[in-house]
Amino acid sequence: MSPEELSFLDTLRRIAADKIAPLAAETDETATFVHRQLGVLAEAGVMGANLPDPVGPGISAACLYALVEVVAGACGSTASALTAHYLATDSLLLGATQALQDRFLPAAAEGRALGAFALTERNAGSDPADMRTRAIREGDGYRIKGSKCFISNGGAADFLVVYAVTDPAAGHRGISAFVVEKGTPGLVPGRVERTMGLRGGHVWELEFDCLIPEASRIGPEGTGFKTAMKVLDNGRLEVAAMATGIADVALSLAKDWCKTRIIGGEPLSNRQGIRWQLADMATDLAAARALAAQAVALRESGTRFTAQASMAKLFASEMVARVTDAALQLHGGYGFTRDFPLERLARDCRIFRIYEGSSEIQRMIIAGHIL
Protein backbone atom coordinates (compact mmCIF):
# COMPACT_ATOMS: atom_id res chain seq x y z
CA MET A 1 0.00 0.00 0.00
CA SER A 2 1.05 3.58 -0.60
CA PRO A 3 1.99 5.92 2.27
CA GLU A 4 -1.27 7.76 1.66
CA GLU A 5 -3.27 4.53 2.00
CA LEU A 6 -1.45 3.59 5.21
CA SER A 7 -2.17 7.04 6.64
CA PHE A 8 -5.83 6.72 5.63
CA LEU A 9 -6.06 3.36 7.43
CA ASP A 10 -4.48 4.81 10.57
CA THR A 11 -7.11 7.55 10.57
CA LEU A 12 -9.87 5.02 9.99
CA ARG A 13 -8.65 2.89 12.91
CA ARG A 14 -8.93 5.88 15.22
CA ILE A 15 -12.39 6.73 13.93
CA ALA A 16 -13.53 3.13 14.24
CA ALA A 17 -12.18 2.86 17.80
CA ASP A 18 -13.68 6.20 18.91
CA LYS A 19 -17.01 6.33 17.07
CA ILE A 20 -18.03 2.84 15.90
CA ALA A 21 -16.74 0.27 18.39
CA PRO A 22 -18.41 2.00 21.40
CA LEU A 23 -21.81 1.53 19.71
CA ALA A 24 -21.38 -2.17 18.90
CA ALA A 25 -22.77 -3.68 22.11
CA GLU A 26 -25.75 -1.31 22.23
CA THR A 27 -26.47 -1.98 18.56
CA ASP A 28 -26.48 -5.71 19.24
CA GLU A 29 -28.73 -5.39 22.31
CA THR A 30 -31.30 -3.12 20.64
CA ALA A 31 -31.02 -4.55 17.10
CA THR A 32 -30.97 -0.98 15.79
CA PHE A 33 -29.96 -0.53 12.16
CA VAL A 34 -26.50 1.01 11.80
CA HIS A 35 -27.55 4.38 10.34
CA ARG A 36 -25.29 6.32 12.74
CA GLN A 37 -22.26 4.19 11.98
CA LEU A 38 -22.75 4.46 8.22
CA GLY A 39 -22.91 8.23 8.66
CA VAL A 40 -19.52 8.11 10.37
CA LEU A 41 -18.11 6.05 7.50
CA ALA A 42 -19.57 8.48 4.96
CA GLU A 43 -17.76 11.37 6.66
CA ALA A 44 -14.54 9.32 6.55
CA GLY A 45 -14.92 8.73 2.79
CA VAL A 46 -15.45 4.98 3.13
CA MET A 47 -18.83 4.48 1.44
CA GLY A 48 -17.29 4.72 -2.03
CA ALA A 49 -13.96 3.09 -1.21
CA ASN A 50 -14.61 0.27 -3.69
CA LEU A 51 -15.01 2.72 -6.58
CA PRO A 52 -12.29 4.07 -8.88
CA ASP A 53 -11.26 7.68 -9.17
CA PRO A 54 -12.90 10.14 -9.79
CA VAL A 55 -16.13 8.75 -8.28
CA GLY A 56 -14.36 7.07 -5.38
CA PRO A 57 -10.88 7.34 -3.88
CA GLY A 58 -9.45 4.71 -6.21
CA ILE A 59 -7.63 2.83 -3.45
CA SER A 60 -5.85 -0.47 -4.03
CA ALA A 61 -7.48 -3.85 -3.46
CA ALA A 62 -5.11 -4.38 -0.51
CA CYS A 63 -6.24 -1.14 1.12
CA LEU A 64 -9.90 -2.01 0.56
CA TYR A 65 -9.38 -5.42 2.20
CA ALA A 66 -7.69 -3.80 5.20
CA LEU A 67 -10.44 -1.19 5.42
CA VAL A 68 -13.14 -3.87 5.70
CA GLU A 69 -11.03 -5.62 8.37
CA VAL A 70 -10.91 -2.41 10.43
CA VAL A 71 -14.66 -1.79 10.23
CA ALA A 72 -15.51 -5.43 11.02
CA GLY A 73 -13.19 -5.41 14.00
CA ALA A 74 -15.08 -2.42 15.38
CA CYS A 75 -18.61 -3.64 14.56
CA GLY A 76 -19.62 -6.62 12.45
CA SER A 77 -23.09 -5.21 11.78
CA THR A 78 -21.61 -2.04 10.31
CA ALA A 79 -19.23 -4.02 8.10
CA SER A 80 -22.10 -6.16 6.85
CA ALA A 81 -24.16 -3.12 5.84
CA LEU A 82 -21.12 -1.47 4.26
CA THR A 83 -20.17 -4.48 2.14
CA ALA A 84 -23.80 -4.98 1.06
CA HIS A 85 -23.66 -1.39 -0.19
CA TYR A 86 -20.47 -2.29 -2.07
CA LEU A 87 -22.27 -5.21 -3.76
CA ALA A 88 -24.87 -2.79 -5.13
CA THR A 89 -22.37 -0.23 -6.38
CA ASP A 90 -20.09 -2.95 -7.79
CA SER A 91 -23.08 -4.17 -9.81
CA LEU A 92 -23.46 -0.73 -11.37
CA LEU A 93 -19.73 -0.31 -11.88
CA LEU A 94 -19.35 -3.68 -13.63
CA GLY A 95 -22.53 -3.75 -15.70
CA ALA A 96 -24.33 -0.44 -16.04
CA THR A 97 -24.20 2.22 -18.72
CA GLN A 98 -22.27 5.40 -17.95
CA ALA A 99 -25.55 7.28 -17.66
CA LEU A 100 -26.84 4.91 -14.98
CA GLN A 101 -23.53 5.02 -13.14
CA ASP A 102 -23.54 8.82 -13.21
CA ARG A 103 -27.05 8.82 -11.79
CA PHE A 104 -26.37 6.66 -8.73
CA LEU A 105 -22.68 6.20 -7.98
CA PRO A 106 -21.69 9.75 -6.89
CA ALA A 107 -24.43 9.85 -4.25
CA ALA A 108 -23.59 6.31 -3.16
CA ALA A 109 -19.89 7.15 -2.85
CA GLU A 110 -20.62 10.22 -0.73
CA GLY A 111 -22.97 8.30 1.55
CA ARG A 112 -26.05 10.24 0.43
CA ALA A 113 -27.63 7.07 -0.99
CA LEU A 114 -27.46 3.55 0.45
CA GLY A 115 -27.52 0.55 -1.85
CA ALA A 116 -28.74 -3.05 -1.54
CA PHE A 117 -28.08 -6.18 -3.61
CA ALA A 118 -31.28 -8.17 -4.14
CA LEU A 119 -30.43 -11.62 -5.51
CA THR A 120 -31.53 -14.25 -2.98
CA GLU A 121 -34.98 -15.84 -2.97
CA ARG A 122 -36.51 -18.49 -0.74
CA ASN A 123 -36.27 -21.13 -3.47
CA ALA A 124 -33.19 -19.71 -5.16
CA GLY A 125 -30.45 -19.21 -2.62
CA SER A 126 -27.55 -21.32 -3.79
CA ASP A 127 -28.74 -21.64 -7.40
CA PRO A 128 -29.94 -18.41 -9.03
CA ALA A 129 -31.22 -20.46 -11.98
CA ASP A 130 -34.23 -21.31 -9.78
CA MET A 131 -35.12 -17.62 -9.50
CA ARG A 132 -38.85 -16.89 -9.66
CA THR A 133 -38.86 -13.07 -9.74
CA ARG A 134 -39.77 -11.95 -13.25
CA ALA A 135 -39.11 -8.78 -15.24
CA ILE A 136 -41.80 -8.68 -17.94
CA ARG A 137 -41.86 -6.16 -20.76
CA GLU A 138 -44.65 -3.64 -20.26
CA GLY A 139 -44.95 -0.45 -22.26
CA ASP A 140 -41.62 1.36 -22.38
CA GLY A 141 -40.23 -0.55 -19.43
CA TYR A 142 -40.50 -3.66 -17.28
CA ARG A 143 -42.83 -4.87 -14.60
CA ILE A 144 -40.87 -6.64 -11.89
CA LYS A 145 -42.96 -9.18 -9.97
CA GLY A 146 -41.77 -11.50 -7.24
CA SER A 147 -40.05 -11.52 -3.88
CA LYS A 148 -36.59 -11.57 -2.35
CA CYS A 149 -35.38 -12.57 1.11
CA PHE A 150 -32.38 -12.04 3.38
CA ILE A 151 -31.56 -8.77 1.62
CA SER A 152 -29.05 -6.75 3.64
CA ASN A 153 -29.99 -3.04 3.75
CA GLY A 154 -33.16 -3.92 1.80
CA GLY A 155 -35.75 -1.78 3.60
CA ALA A 156 -33.27 1.01 4.42
CA ALA A 157 -31.72 1.33 0.97
CA ASP A 158 -32.28 4.27 -1.34
CA PHE A 159 -31.77 2.02 -4.35
CA LEU A 160 -31.73 -1.72 -4.91
CA VAL A 161 -30.00 -3.73 -7.59
CA VAL A 162 -32.61 -6.39 -8.33
CA TYR A 163 -31.94 -9.56 -10.31
CA ALA A 164 -34.92 -10.96 -12.19
CA VAL A 165 -35.69 -13.40 -15.02
CA THR A 166 -36.37 -11.83 -18.40
CA ASP A 167 -36.23 -15.09 -20.40
CA PRO A 168 -37.43 -18.15 -18.43
CA ALA A 169 -36.26 -20.54 -21.15
CA ALA A 170 -32.64 -19.37 -21.10
CA GLY A 171 -31.53 -20.49 -17.62
CA HIS A 172 -28.66 -18.40 -16.27
CA ARG A 173 -28.58 -16.45 -19.53
CA GLY A 174 -32.14 -15.30 -18.97
CA ILE A 175 -31.36 -13.29 -15.81
CA SER A 176 -31.11 -9.50 -16.00
CA ALA A 177 -30.33 -6.79 -13.45
CA PHE A 178 -32.26 -3.61 -12.70
CA VAL A 179 -32.12 -0.60 -10.39
CA VAL A 180 -35.26 -0.04 -8.34
CA GLU A 181 -35.40 3.15 -6.31
CA LYS A 182 -36.84 3.53 -2.84
CA GLY A 183 -40.45 4.72 -3.00
CA THR A 184 -41.19 3.08 -6.35
CA PRO A 185 -44.88 2.07 -6.28
CA GLY A 186 -45.13 -1.66 -5.80
CA LEU A 187 -41.84 -2.05 -3.91
CA VAL A 188 -42.90 -3.26 -0.46
CA PRO A 189 -40.31 -3.99 2.26
CA GLY A 190 -41.50 -6.83 4.47
CA ARG A 191 -40.33 -7.82 7.91
CA VAL A 192 -36.80 -7.58 9.23
CA GLU A 193 -35.50 -11.06 10.01
CA ARG A 194 -34.68 -11.79 13.66
CA THR A 195 -31.11 -12.99 13.34
CA MET A 196 -28.63 -14.71 15.66
CA GLY A 197 -25.88 -12.18 15.00
CA LEU A 198 -25.13 -8.99 13.04
CA ARG A 199 -28.33 -7.72 14.66
CA GLY A 200 -27.70 -4.15 13.53
CA GLY A 201 -27.07 -5.15 9.90
CA HIS A 202 -30.69 -5.82 9.04
CA VAL A 203 -31.89 -8.24 6.38
CA TRP A 204 -35.35 -7.80 4.87
CA GLU A 205 -37.98 -9.60 2.89
CA LEU A 206 -38.98 -7.61 -0.20
CA GLU A 207 -42.04 -7.84 -2.42
CA PHE A 208 -42.12 -6.45 -5.96
CA ASP A 209 -44.93 -5.56 -8.31
CA CYS A 210 -43.53 -2.40 -9.80
CA LEU A 211 -43.10 -0.76 -13.18
CA ILE A 212 -39.65 0.64 -13.98
CA PRO A 213 -38.26 2.29 -17.13
CA GLU A 214 -36.01 0.43 -19.54
CA ALA A 215 -33.22 2.89 -18.66
CA SER A 216 -33.07 1.27 -15.20
CA ARG A 217 -31.82 -2.02 -16.65
CA ILE A 218 -28.14 -2.72 -15.89
CA GLY A 219 -26.52 -3.78 -19.15
CA PRO A 220 -28.18 -5.79 -21.94
CA GLU A 221 -30.87 -8.34 -21.20
CA GLY A 222 -29.47 -11.69 -20.09
CA THR A 223 -26.21 -10.34 -18.63
CA GLY A 224 -27.39 -10.17 -15.02
CA PHE A 225 -26.03 -13.54 -13.95
CA LYS A 226 -22.58 -12.76 -15.33
CA THR A 227 -22.56 -9.43 -13.49
CA ALA A 228 -23.74 -11.04 -10.25
CA MET A 229 -20.99 -13.66 -10.33
CA LYS A 230 -18.28 -11.02 -10.82
CA VAL A 231 -19.77 -8.98 -7.99
CA LEU A 232 -19.81 -12.03 -5.71
CA ASP A 233 -16.10 -12.59 -6.33
CA ASN A 234 -15.58 -9.18 -4.72
CA GLY A 235 -18.15 -9.89 -2.03
CA ARG A 236 -16.57 -13.19 -1.02
CA LEU A 237 -13.21 -11.53 -0.60
CA GLU A 238 -14.87 -8.89 1.56
CA VAL A 239 -16.46 -11.64 3.70
CA ALA A 240 -12.94 -13.01 4.18
CA ALA A 241 -11.87 -9.53 5.30
CA MET A 242 -14.72 -9.36 7.80
CA ALA A 243 -13.71 -12.78 9.11
CA THR A 244 -10.03 -11.91 9.54
CA GLY A 245 -10.97 -8.56 11.09
CA ILE A 246 -13.13 -10.22 13.75
CA ALA A 247 -10.60 -13.03 14.32
CA ASP A 248 -7.87 -10.44 14.85
CA VAL A 249 -9.93 -8.80 17.60
CA ALA A 250 -10.76 -12.15 19.22
CA LEU A 251 -7.09 -13.14 19.25
CA SER A 252 -6.08 -9.79 20.74
CA LEU A 253 -8.70 -10.11 23.49
CA ALA A 254 -7.55 -13.66 24.26
CA LYS A 255 -3.89 -12.65 24.38
CA ASP A 256 -4.55 -9.75 26.77
CA TRP A 257 -6.80 -11.89 28.96
CA CYS A 258 -4.26 -14.71 29.24
CA LYS A 259 -1.50 -12.25 30.17
CA THR A 260 -3.53 -10.63 32.96
CA ARG A 261 -5.74 -13.45 34.26
CA ILE A 262 -4.01 -14.93 37.32
CA ILE A 263 -4.71 -18.57 38.22
CA GLY A 264 -2.69 -20.36 40.88
CA GLY A 265 -0.48 -17.35 41.35
CA GLU A 266 0.62 -16.99 37.74
CA PRO A 267 -0.86 -15.65 34.49
CA LEU A 268 -2.59 -18.09 32.18
CA SER A 269 -0.07 -17.21 29.47
CA ASN A 270 2.66 -18.99 31.42
CA ARG A 271 1.00 -22.35 30.82
CA GLN A 272 2.17 -24.39 27.87
CA GLY A 273 -1.30 -25.57 26.85
CA ILE A 274 -2.58 -21.97 26.74
CA ARG A 275 0.41 -20.83 24.71
CA TRP A 276 -0.21 -23.60 22.19
CA GLN A 277 -3.84 -22.50 21.79
CA LEU A 278 -2.76 -18.91 21.14
CA ALA A 279 -0.15 -20.14 18.65
CA ASP A 280 -2.75 -22.16 16.75
CA MET A 281 -5.14 -19.19 16.67
CA ALA A 282 -2.43 -16.86 15.34
CA THR A 283 -1.35 -19.39 12.71
CA ASP A 284 -4.96 -19.90 11.58
CA LEU A 285 -5.40 -16.15 11.18
CA ALA A 286 -2.13 -15.74 9.29
CA ALA A 287 -3.07 -18.56 6.91
CA ALA A 288 -6.43 -16.92 6.18
CA ARG A 289 -4.73 -13.62 5.41
CA ALA A 290 -2.21 -15.35 3.16
CA LEU A 291 -4.99 -16.99 1.14
CA ALA A 292 -6.79 -13.67 0.88
CA ALA A 293 -3.59 -11.98 -0.30
CA GLN A 294 -3.57 -14.21 -3.39
CA ALA A 295 -7.09 -13.09 -4.31
CA VAL A 296 -6.28 -9.46 -3.49
CA ALA A 297 -3.30 -9.53 -5.87
CA LEU A 298 -5.43 -10.93 -8.70
CA ARG A 299 -8.21 -8.43 -8.03
CA GLU A 300 -5.67 -5.60 -8.20
CA SER A 301 -4.35 -6.89 -11.54
CA GLY A 302 -7.83 -7.10 -13.06
CA THR A 303 -7.63 -10.89 -13.45
CA ARG A 304 -10.63 -13.05 -12.55
CA PHE A 305 -10.12 -14.52 -9.09
CA THR A 306 -13.20 -16.69 -8.60
CA ALA A 307 -11.40 -19.75 -7.23
CA GLN A 308 -9.07 -17.68 -5.06
CA ALA A 309 -11.99 -15.66 -3.62
CA SER A 310 -13.85 -18.87 -2.84
CA MET A 311 -10.79 -20.36 -1.14
CA ALA A 312 -10.25 -17.21 0.90
CA LYS A 313 -13.89 -16.98 1.89
CA LEU A 314 -14.18 -20.69 2.72
CA PHE A 315 -11.07 -20.82 4.87
CA ALA A 316 -11.53 -17.46 6.60
CA SER A 317 -15.19 -18.02 7.42
CA GLU A 318 -14.40 -21.35 9.06
CA MET A 319 -11.20 -20.03 10.66
CA VAL A 320 -13.01 -17.18 12.46
CA ALA A 321 -15.40 -19.68 14.03
CA ARG A 322 -12.46 -21.62 15.46
CA VAL A 323 -10.64 -18.53 16.70
CA THR A 324 -13.64 -16.83 18.33
CA ASP A 325 -14.69 -20.08 19.98
CA ALA A 326 -11.18 -20.64 21.33
CA ALA A 327 -11.01 -17.04 22.60
CA LEU A 328 -14.35 -17.46 24.35
CA GLN A 329 -13.16 -20.74 25.89
CA LEU A 330 -10.00 -19.10 27.22
CA HIS A 331 -12.16 -16.52 28.98
CA GLY A 332 -14.06 -19.31 30.75
CA GLY A 333 -17.47 -18.36 32.14
CA TYR A 334 -16.74 -14.68 31.57
CA GLY A 335 -16.60 -15.29 27.83
CA PHE A 336 -20.16 -16.59 27.93
CA THR A 337 -21.50 -13.36 29.46
CA ARG A 338 -22.61 -10.25 27.62
CA ASP A 339 -20.27 -8.15 29.73
CA PHE A 340 -17.51 -9.38 27.42
CA PRO A 341 -17.62 -9.07 23.59
CA LEU A 342 -16.65 -12.67 22.77
CA GLU A 343 -20.18 -14.08 22.68
CA ARG A 344 -21.22 -11.30 20.28
CA LEU A 345 -18.23 -11.94 18.03
CA ALA A 346 -19.04 -15.66 17.98
CA ARG A 347 -22.66 -14.94 16.98
CA ASP A 348 -21.74 -12.29 14.42
CA CYS A 349 -19.30 -14.50 12.53
CA ARG A 350 -21.60 -17.53 12.24
CA ILE A 351 -23.31 -16.20 9.10
CA PHE A 352 -20.00 -15.97 7.23
CA ARG A 353 -20.20 -19.70 6.44
CA ILE A 354 -23.59 -19.14 4.80
CA TYR A 355 -23.93 -15.84 2.97
CA GLU A 356 -22.29 -14.90 -0.33
CA GLY A 357 -22.41 -18.65 -0.99
CA SER A 358 -22.25 -21.26 1.75
CA SER A 359 -19.11 -23.25 2.56
CA GLU A 360 -20.59 -26.13 0.58
CA ILE A 361 -21.06 -23.91 -2.48
CA GLN A 362 -17.49 -22.60 -2.17
CA ARG A 363 -16.24 -26.19 -2.23
CA MET A 364 -18.26 -26.82 -5.40
CA ILE A 365 -16.77 -23.72 -7.05
CA ILE A 366 -13.22 -24.64 -6.04
CA ALA A 367 -13.65 -28.25 -7.19
CA GLY A 368 -15.04 -27.04 -10.50
CA HIS A 369 -11.90 -24.99 -11.10
CA ILE A 370 -9.63 -27.87 -10.09
CA LEU A 371 -11.41 -30.29 -12.43
pLDDT tens profile 220-279: 999 999 999 999 999 999 999 999 999 999 999 999 999 999 999 999 999 999 999 999
Pair 244, 198 in one domain: no
Pair 123, 138 in one domain: yes
Q: Tell me what pLDDT residue 130 has.
A: 84
Q: Spot the catalytic one: 29, 110, 356, 360.
A: 356
Last residue within a domain, chosen from 110, 126, 156: 110
How far is CA 190 from its chain centroid?
21
pLDDT tens profile 42-72: 999 999 999 999 999 999 999 999 999 999 9
C-alpha span between 261 and 340 (Å, rounded): 14
C-alpha distances out from residue 2 to 8, 10, 59, Å = 10, 13, 9
Element housing 88 (H / E): helix 76-95
DSSP state of 264: T
C-alpha span between 366 and 64 (Å, rounded): 24
Residue 340, φ and ψ in degrees, nearest 5:
-115, 150
Q: What is the band of 124 on the pLDDT scale with cuts at 50, 70, 90? A: confident
Asked if residues 12 and 69 have their Cβ atoms less than 8 Å apart, the reply is no
- 361-366: long-range pairs with CB below 8 Å, 24+: 361/126, 362/236, 362/310, 362/311, 362/313, 362/314, 363/314, 365/306, 365/307, 365/310, 366/307, 366/310, 366/311, 366/314
354: pLDDT strictly greater than 90: yes
Q: Tell me what pLDDT residue 128 has.
A: 74
Task: Find the mean pLDDT for residues 311-339.
Answer: 97
Annotated active-site residue 207? The verdict is no
Instruction: Specify the CATH number for the domain of residue 71.
Output: 1.10.540.10
DSSP state of 188: E
C-alpha distances out from residue 274 to 246, 278, 324, 368, Å = 20, 6, 15, 40
Pair 247, 365 in one domain: yes
Element housing 262 (H / E): strand 262-263
Last residue within a domain, chosen from 179, 207, 223: 223
Residue 264 belongs to what domain range? Answer: 226-370
126: pLDDT strictly greater than 80: no
pLDDT tens profile 23-40: 999 999 999 999 999 999
Pair 271, 320 in one domain: yes
Instruction: Specify the CATH number for the domain of residue 219.
Output: 2.40.110.10
Pair 239, 327 in one domain: yes
Pair 219, 230 in one domain: no
